[in-house]
Amino acid sequence: MNYFALTIIGRDHPGIVAKVTETLFHLGCNIADSSCTILGGQFAMILILSNPGMHDQKDFETTFAPLEADGLSVFLRKLQPGGETAPEIEGEICMISVYGSDKPGIVYPVAKELGDRQINITDLNTKLVGSAQNPVYVMMIEAVLPAGLDIEELSSVLNRLKKDLQVDISVRTITPVEL
């Protein structure tokens, strides 16, 4: 089975998800994984999909032309074998929340501290909330701690960063639920 990464970006408006999924449904594609969000005024969607009859990008030919005619940018890439499955990441899952006045230079120092400690960021979202007069930058990070690093140690490191960046940072564990 071949897997593809499909990325769609464009000015947000209602109906994008329906149009994309209808196109994929009519092709007989299976959506293995997906993420959709609004970034500024742009809708952004990333999907991992498969179809036993599709072997490379050429098989999709003009399939996405109607989406592009609707003002969306569509990018398709064939994944290397194994690229469709999430890796087994061992360790404690945590949620890191950052809140502060909007200014450049918040994401990088936090990401660097995590990367320096081999903490795997599995999800990162940022939003600007509040009012135009009082914008608040919000960053939510889901991460997996490596063996030997605990929440208390990470909290201590991030507390030092909190002072440097003049933001509020909190860390909490996430208990996975098995269904």
Strand ranges, E, within the chain? 3-11, 30-39, 42-50, 73-78, 92-101, 120-130, 135-145, 168-173
Length of the chain: 179
Domain shared by 57 and 107, yes or no: no
d(CA 10, CA 16): 9
Domain closes at, from 78, 101, 128: 78
**Is 23 strand, coil or helix?**
helix
- Average pLDDT along the chain: 90
Question: Residue 179: pLDDT above 70?
Answer: no
Residue 83 lies in a domain: no
Domain shared by 8 and 47, yes or no: yes
- Which one-letter DSSP state was computed for residue 80? P
Domain closes at, from 24, 49, 78: 78
Give the tens place of pLDDT for each residue, 72-126. 999 999 988 776 666 677 788 999 999 999 888 999 999 999 999 999 999 999 9
Domain count across the chain = 2
Decide: 60 and 54 in contact? Cβ < 8 Å: yes
CATH number at residue 66: 3.30.70.260
Which domain does 26 fall in, by range?
Answer: 3-78
pLDDT at 66: 92
Instruction: Give the closest residue to 94 by CA, choosing from 168, 159, 154, 172.
Output: 172
Residue 85 lies in a domain: no
List the Cα angle 147/150/154 in 5-degree steps.
120
Decide: 47 and 40 in contact? Cβ < 8 Å: no
Give the tens place of pLDDT for each residue, 55-72. 888 878 788 999 999 999
**Is 150 strand, coil or helix?**
coil
Domain shared by 71 and 96, yes or no: no
| Token code pair at residue 57 | 């990008």
Domain shared by 167 and 101, yes or no: yes
